[in-house]
A and B are shown apart, each in its own frame.
Chain A
């Protein structure tokens, strides 16, 4: 018996969300007295033994050109074989784009109940109950998984990375890999930016910034503190910012440690994507802006006056 963690990688590097999933899987394995193992598909350059730090005892690897792009169908067939080979009773994914592509397929293939968007370790005092996000961050549901094998897709930034000093054993797993039916003709990676879904700090701008020419107030500040940038929907709709920055009900849902909102009113659909952030800061000139009700810190003031001063203060802080 084991807990098997799907280790997601991009371009040979393991994603931060997988360290969270590994830490979660290790805690879960400990809770149930079994071993925590990981599985990595495709070619990786990172040192896999280092995954031992997060509590994984063994890493199974499967290489092959067919796994270089994530094809949900091919990956699922491999993972189903891995579940049998390792005797896994729980499979943990990050509920990132990769997890969303594969976990449901695996669930249907091996008839293992899935909870996606989990935010805490399962409660096993009476069955196996996992807390998950519902209503776009406005509530949680406690969901019982009724099958012998269980699948959990962990919401990114919901479980802290626990890092120690273990070393994992790495071994190739012998499985059949199918030929993908989907062919990938081009890949376009956004390079040099912190991906929004993984960012711990996010600076975001809304229509209050008046136009794309003023975005330095957002991007300079973000760069200074090492944050990713985001925006409200109308800002992406009119093309001031790229679509992948749009957060909210119909955009990306994020849960960073800091969400710093400049000139955003805080409409309920916007809040749906950001209300799980740990600390929310709002800069808005309207004291009645609904965002202040959801904020931890705020300044009622003109962003064009306030932001340069904030940028200066951070520069001073960083310099000192």
Chain B
């Protein structure tokens, strides 16, 4: 079995969100970068578990990004995986990124392609579906459990109002979220081993750019909290009823 896990880089969850150049660019100065949590904790760890269960599994990672994504992809390799591919392109257009991943997937002939459910910076929730469409493969989104036997995957996924259990033959594209696996911390052996794993850099294929970010805005600041004394909680109920009109 061959698995491809899509890894993206995002600002640390505590990073200050600010913009420069007339609100056209994310202010990246001093920002710590991490592997997008859904990619790391769920997609990658589940893929590693599948490889542990069947050591003949080949596990590749792919990222579309500039040279600055390399520390992130090395960190991912320290958790597990045989090799990584970096497509040397920097874009925020989901279709363009998906086209790059689809090209890598096509060349590698993978049985499973895992993505995270979304990136925590641009919140697209789009790449998995686009990759699946470009490859003509089924897409199971928002997976919370994944198992595979004899080429058939059994997947639990979140749907509107509940969950469903699906069966699908590989190849398939799956977007992963909480429930798939538990977060792991890379150990020393993994970190040392990752240094010698291949990290292939390839140039992007030609692809269209369907959207472009024009500018960013920050939400208006809150007016400040109105505190009610703990001795008169009924006053809070009155405010919510008469002033905020929510209950």
- Report which A residues bind B (CB closer than 8 A): 8, 10-11, 15, 69-73, 76, 95-98, 100-109, 111-117, 129, 131-147, 180-190, 195, 197, 201, 225, 243-244, 246, 249-251, 253, 257-258, 268-269, 272, 275-276, 278-279, 281-282, 292-302, 305-307, 309-310, 312-314, 316-317
Contact = CB atoms under 8 A, between A and B. Distances in A.
Contact of B14 (A142, A268, A293): A268
Interface stretch (B63-71, B79-87, B189-197, B224-232): B224-232
A42 B72 CA distance: 43
B95 interface: yes
Interface string B89-120: 00000110010000000000000000000001
A33 to B, nearest CB: 24
Contacts of B141: 72, 97, 100-101
B162 A189 contact: yes
- Lowest 5 A-B CB distances belong to which pairs? A301-B230, A104-B129, A113-B210, A313-B234, A189-B162
B236 A142 contact: no
A276 B79 CA distance: 34
A71 B127 CA distance: 17
A249 B37 contact: yes
B159 interface: yes
B102 to A, nearest CB: 9
Interface residues of B, number: 79
Contacts of B159: 10, 70, 97-98, 187
Contacts of A269: 13-14
A111 B95 CA distance: 8
Interface string B211-231: 111111111001101111110
A72 B165 contact: no
A135 B139 contact: no
B160 A10 contact: yes
A7 B117 CA distance: 23
A170 B17 CA distance: 47
A295 B225 contact: yes
B125 A105 contact: no
A108 B160 contact: no
Contacts of A180: 138
| B158, B213, B246 pick with most chain A CB within 10 angstroms | B246
Nearest to A185: B165
A104 B123 contact: no
B168 A141 contact: no
